Structure 1
Amino acid sequence: MSVTLEHPPGRRCRDISTIALTATGSPVPVHGRLTGPEGAPTILVLGGISSGRNVADTANDNGWWRQQAGPGKPIDTNRHRILSFDFIGADIHPFPTTQDQARAILALADAADIRDLAIVGSSYGGMIGLALAELAPERVRELVVISAADRSSEMAKAWRSIQRDTVEMALRLGDGKAGLDLARRLAMTTYRTPDEFEARFADPDPDSRDAGGVATYLAARGEAWADTVDPQRFLALSRSMDEHRVEVGGLKCRVTYIAALEDRLVPADQIADAAKRTPRSRLITLSSVFGHDAFLKEDAIIGATLDEIFGS
């Protein structure tokens, strides 16, 4: 293992790298981050496919979940240590499974001498959390799964197939970035809800950020996404979500599922069904105009649940 210290020791944040082995024995480089005091209980934090190791704020970048993770936050880095990592993308052909991602995490945990951990996983990260709890039950103390289930719904697969076809067609035409742009625009319509779009864009304040209308909003989101994502990485992670499957009936740890009633990408009834089949589980439902993105936008209720679990 190689370990590089990205920030001064006082910030208690270091990046780590190691090599993981896939199910077929192929080596894959893995890059992660530890944030928080040495020796503190470890919480693995995983998000959607656009997230990575930058969970909490650092001197160099903003954390994608800074409202929930950091000093004094529900996942308090004064009392807990966060393990995070960059998902494996196109390094595994044709795509990494959620079990491959779980093996990569275990390799990082071994390299950092972490024997066991709790997990908070949202969206794709929730899928990986379930896969890890199935793969290595002795390593997982507790699991929180937000906006994710044991498999993908057929409607979610349908939406993602259109996104992949768009990107692949754009690649054939020599403009993968344009394909990513359009794929992200479509994705945003599955993450959010009709009620949110109506409230924001039907009659926007001319001085507000939404004055340009829904098409302008989607174009901005698509352009920003396309500027930061590799097309092959997107295709690999999209297929990974489609093929995700975990037998939750065999899980050993306590699992808290959190579902948004308005989530169309991972419907609440699908999460409820997974919870029923999970031996030591509970289900928390919330109503959110943000749908699948509730884990990013509903700070209060998500934070209260995390504080209940990790605050004592």
Structure 2
Amino acid sequence: MSRARAIEGRIEGPEGAPAVLVLGGISSGKNLTGAGGWWPGVAGPGGALDPACHRLISADFLDTGEAGFPSAGEQAKAILGLIAGWEIGRFHIVGASYGGSIGLAISLAAPERVSGVTCISAAHRADPLATAWRSIQREIAEFGLKHGNGPGALDLARRLAMTTYRTRDELRLRFLDPAPGTRDARGITAWLEAAGAKYAAKTAPEHFLALSRALDAVDLDPSRIKVPVHYVAVEDDLLVPLTDMEEAASLTPDSRLTVIRSIYGHDAFLKEVEVMNALISADLERPS
């Protein structure tokens, strides 16, 4: 029998306030609010996820599992174990990207604990083209590890990933004819270099590899979900296509689908602060 794995997390907000579990992409973690928090403008004072109004739960993800990477079920078990230590009863889940899929997995594992799920830019399984892009990123990182430069290779892998998170429209708008003296005037290559260096400085290649594989291995059955799910899709998302989210919504017994347009593509949940605040606030105000 496998030993239960533990993760680290944080909880903040008044005791007795409505509890909300907040999960992001594979680059997120327990640092949700405050300096360095991964969801500025949405999680924090004045945002939909305001710790003055809600009991916010955030967590790191497992990066090990039975297959060498964690399954969605293993992630769900670890997060539920973390929450059990805080004696939280029912909670709403707000999950974006990989965190949205894990939110669905948690609702499958413990429907009696979950009042509802806001699932943003995430589906029940990975899209093949997205898997193809991520497989190339992993090959780059593995090549670097093999040749003694894992961080340098992860830097390059992240640069490639950035081109899949955004849209052609955004990159043309920013870099085709940038205003002199602005940050974007340095060009798209400089933008990619900065993003790659920042990510490689704080992420171990092995951690990235495990969670990238975990993302591609997600395979859930939405027809078994017994809680309300609000799917929020971005029409221009390259990584999680609208067709996959439409399928997830059609298979989920109690669901609704909101489709937005954004030049930020998959990163809309990070960039479209006003839209995310409005959608999440409406979900949290709904009776459970």
Same fold (TM over 0.5): yes
Deviation at 1:91, TM superposition (A): 6.5
Correspondent of 1:286 among 260, 264, 275: 260
Aligned residue number for residue 151 of structure 2: 177
Alignment partner of 1:62 is 2:39: no
Q: Report if the CA contact (8 A) 1:255-1:280 is conserved.
A: yes
What secondary structure is seen at the aligned counterpart in 2 of 1:293? helix
- 1:8 matched residue in structure 2: none
Query: Partners of 2:224 and 2:146 in 1: how far apart?
Result: 43
Which residue pairs with 2:205 in the alignment?
231
How far does residue 82 in structure 1 lie from its aligned partner after superposition? 0.5
Residue correspondences, number: 286
Tell me which amino acid in the other structure corresponds to 1:35. Answer: E
Mapped to 2, the partners of 1:63 and 1:189 lie a distance apart of 23
Equivalent position of 2:98 in the other structure: 124
Q: Sequence identity, in percent? A: 47
Q: Distance in 2 between matches of 1:282 and 1:228?
A: 37
1: distance between equivalents of 2:9 and 2:277?
A: 24
Query: Which of residues 15, 21, 42 in structure 1 aligns to 2:19?
Result: 42
1:162 maps to what in 2?
A: 136
The reply on whether 1:31 has 2:31 as its aligned counterpart is no
Matches of 1:147 and 1:49 in 2, distance apart?
Answer: 13
Kindly provide the CA deviation profile for residues 188-240 of structure 1, in whole angstroms up to 9, marking residues without a partner as x. Answer: 01000011111111111121101111111101100110000001110000000
What TM-score, normalized to structure 1? 0.89
Q: TM-score, normalised to structure 2's length? A: 0.96
Moved more, 90-99 or 186-195: 90-99
For the 8 Å contact 2:6–2:82, the answer to whether it is kept is no
Equivalent residue for 1:190, pick from 164, 170, 181: 164
The equivalent residue for 1:13 is: none
Structure 1 position 206 matched with structure 2 position 183: no
CA distance in 2, matches of 1:47, 1:87: 10
Report the RMSD for the aligned CA atoms in angstroms. Answer: 1.3
Q: CA deviation at 1:73?
A: 1.9
Deviation at 1:311, TM superposition (A): 4.0
Q: Greater shift after overlay, 81-90 or 188-197?
A: 81-90
Q: Residue 159 of structure 2: SS of its match in structure 1?
A: helix
For 1:220-259, list aligned pairs within 5 A. Answer: 220-259=194-233
Contact 1:90/1:232 (<8 A) preserved: no
Distance 1:27 1:249 in 2: 27
Residues of 2 paired with 1:251 and 1:91: CA distance? 24
CA offset digits 1:141-161 (Å, max 9, x no partner): 110000000000000110010
Q: Which runs of 5+ in 2 are unaligned?
A: none
Q: Counterpart in 1 of 2:86? A: 112
- Determine which structure has greater relative contact order: mean sequence separation of CA pairs < 8 Å that are 6+ residues apart, divided by chain length: 2
Question: Are the equivalent residues in 1 in contact too, given 2:65–2:74 (CA < 8 A)?
Answer: no
Secondary structure in 1 matching 2:37: coil
1:92 CA drift (Å): 5.8
Q: Deviations over 1:66-111 (max 9, x none)?
A: 3112233212222210111111114765101121111111101111
Q: C-alpha separation between the residues in 2 aligned to 1:128 and 1:142?
A: 13
Query: Cα distance, 1:127 vs. partner?
Result: 0.9
Q: Which runs of 5+ in 1 are unaligned?
A: 1-23
Whether the 8 Å CA contact 1:74–1:311 is kept in 2: the answer is no
Residue 62 of structure 1: how far off its partner (Å): 2.8
